[in-house]
Structure 1
């Protein structure tokens, strides 16, 4: 298999960030749609995309795309896919997820059942058997239906890519690691600039920023479903991708990355998570209320995920929290602030209208990424 097509789903509204990441890895973009980026690359992409991409949710090996408006069509077209090129005779295969938008076929359970039957029929004919033990590696299939177009992929990742492995314990309302990484990438922050998260919770924003600063690949310390696909990828490919990631690490750097939270228990979790990620030495965590936010230097960045008030008892506290945040920000000379929240009155109590905002779905919650960019620092004289 030379160049294959790979599908990388992501958070809605952050496709442009993932597209740039894929291009930086050296792969060719085939298509950008709502919530996913399709790209072309050799079999090395199965390893490199999983290990290096910070903003994707998973990597799927695209095996087919076709139109189907009846279940008979779905069965026949699924059976035409050369499943034997991907799934060995002892492979364990099933349709783990089906999603349908504006399509005549909309029952996920029926789609899953019919496609599994079609796969079995195809492989029975190719392997000349009536029964599959399914004792080998796993080949979970995911399918998207959009306006009657069926796109089929095999999941190479397994547990979602936002699970880096450093955050076994999360604090209150944690933000997903890949979402945090994407939001940092939407800002002009770079590793030589100050970054503060005054509502750091379990530490996701500071940790993701520190991993970027030290060039630590997010998937280095976890495993993937496709590692067992010895029929498609040699173990050597995985070793080479990990070695490439290892060679790129530069963690003997100086940074000014800080995380504050009012809750000491949450901060203990954040410190533990930073240690797990190998970046504890790059982050300063401190117990501090948002009203006490200050920094002596100019041109810093605040990137944060303040409370949303999803729980009823928290809603009454929100106006004061955002008011304190806004007042603290106004005291910081020439700083920039970026916050993601679903709180409708965020700008009102923050005391300033955002220069830009971007709608992003954080799970099923509609949020906005409010952007308050400050001035650029003067260029250093050489």
Structure 2
């Protein structure tokens, strides 16, 4: 097994969560930067990282890193990389995405075109061919240029890893599955504690929590573009990773997870999504306004993604909504609550300063993860 390097991109602000996940899978971290974690592994890592990681958007097989300030330098350095080790003679390859930040080379289309030509020239020499039909498996290439440092990787995932395969029905502005999982993992919630999402929408936060509690791997029920790369990864490795994921599921776990929404159609969608995810027995969904939230149990958790006035016509309603959130959540005086929002005055109207506040970039939108910590439950005494 040869050692390889992998890049796992994530939402800005969630690098520590992803780093912990990768280490828990048994892999060595080589670097942590804004929005990505780089780690070491082997061919089997392609399978295990795609199937088990909850908080990364995709898994890239790192091909190389170099500096380039001109298109000539970009061409020559790209051509110098060992592409024949990864792309077979019939492979279909293209530069799927190029991102440039604070660099002299800034045109994505030019970067993509020049790098494609450089790869073709390299493979012409190595395969002694003048033309490639590209009728085989797909190898989408992604490149990031940051301050003239070029990082090149092949995407092993295909569709983004937030597409678990269970969310066929969705709400107007849903939180992604990867972000929902990361938010839950930032809290002290465990499967033996009650969890409520009073703005559940299509059910993403409750479903991701149930999957975490039951230890269901997020990539078990979907396909990956690298499954056809049999020259790099044996089919047996995929079967072994799926077997490992099945063996890890906690069939006997008992959880009390609840999701509420004022929109009945969203509640119905959430139920269907939970059924597809295989966790519907762990979650109770109900049509209910947030203001009616109450619970006799103590030491519960609220993790939620309320509206935050992205649309102009919604902005006027935000102060009242967040004031009601503060009043309603505050009545559950032993509970902890965690709110992700882009509404900058949320704390002011909630009426209480958060114990912790983490900035998270949801795409290009800056959001805040306000964490209000309730008291810890008394330790259970053994009889």
Q: Look up the match of 1:94.
A: 94
1: CA distance between counterparts of 2:237 and 2:249?
A: 19
Structure 1 residue runs of 5 or longer lacking an equivalent are none
Is the CA contact 1:14–1:35 (under 8 Å) kept in the aligned structure 2?
Answer: yes
- Asked if 1:375 is matched to 2:375, the reply is yes
What does 1:212-361 correspond to in 2, within 5 Å? 212-361=212-361
What does 1:33-48 correspond to in 2, within 5 Å? 33-48=33-48
Structure 2 residue runs of 5 or longer lacking an equivalent are none
Shift of 1:251: 3.1
What does 1:182-197 correspond to in 2, within 5 Å? 182-197=182-197
SS in 1 for 2:99: strand
Shift of 1:348: 1.4
Superimposed CA distance per residue, residues 19-63 of structure 1 (whole angstroms, 9 cap, x where no aligned partner): 000000000000000000000011111000000000000000001
Is the CA contact 1:215–1:251 (under 8 Å) kept in the aligned structure 2?
Answer: no
- Asked if 1:203 is matched to 2:196, the reply is no
Is the CA contact 1:290–1:321 (under 8 Å) kept in the aligned structure 2?
Answer: no
SS in 1 for 2:109: helix
SS in 2 for 1:199: coil
Shift of 1:319: 1.8
Which deviates the most, 270-279 or 246-255? 246-255
Q: Look up the match of 1:136.
A: 136
SS in 2 for 1:44: helix
2: CA distance between counterparts of 1:270 and 1:313?
A: 26
Q: Look up the match of 2:157.
A: 157
Superimposed CA distance per residue, residues 181-209 of structure 1 (whole angstroms, 9 cap, x where no aligned partner): 00100010011111100000010000000
Shift of 1:172: 2.0
Shift of 1:330: 1.2
Superimposed CA distance per residue, residues 184-243 of structure 1 (whole angstroms, 9 cap, x where no aligned partner): 000100111111000000100000000001100000000000001011011100000000
Is the CA contact 1:47–1:237 (under 8 Å) kept in the aligned structure 2?
Answer: yes
SS in 1 for 2:43: coil
SS in 1 for 2:167: coil
SS in 1 for 2:56: coil
Shift of 1:307: 0.2
SS in 2 for 1:130: coil
CA 1:325–1:251 in 2, change beyond 3 Å: closer, same or farther?
farther
Which deviates the most, 286-295 or 44-53? 286-295
Shift of 1:153: 0.3
What does 1:111-130 correspond to in 2, within 5 Å? 111-130=111-130
What does 1:4-15 correspond to in 2, within 5 Å? 4-15=4-15
1: CA distance between counterparts of 2:330 and 2:343?
A: 20
Shift of 1:316: 2.0
| CA RMSD in angstroms, aligned pairs only | 0.8
1: CA distance between counterparts of 2:344 and 2:380?
A: 40
Shift of 1:325: 1.3
1: CA distance between counterparts of 2:321 and 2:303?
A: 16
Q: Look up the match of 2:67.
A: 67
Shift of 1:321: 1.6
Moved over 4 A (4+): none
Shift of 1:269: 0.4
- Asked if 1:103 is matched to 2:103, the reply is yes
SS in 1 for 2:62: strand
1: CA distance between counterparts of 2:253 and 2:25?
A: 23
Which deviates the most, 274-283 or 345-354? 345-354
2: CA distance between counterparts of 1:86 and 1:168?
A: 34
1: CA distance between counterparts of 2:44 and 2:376?
A: 39
1: CA distance between counterparts of 2:333 and 2:179?
A: 28
SS in 1 for 2:151: strand
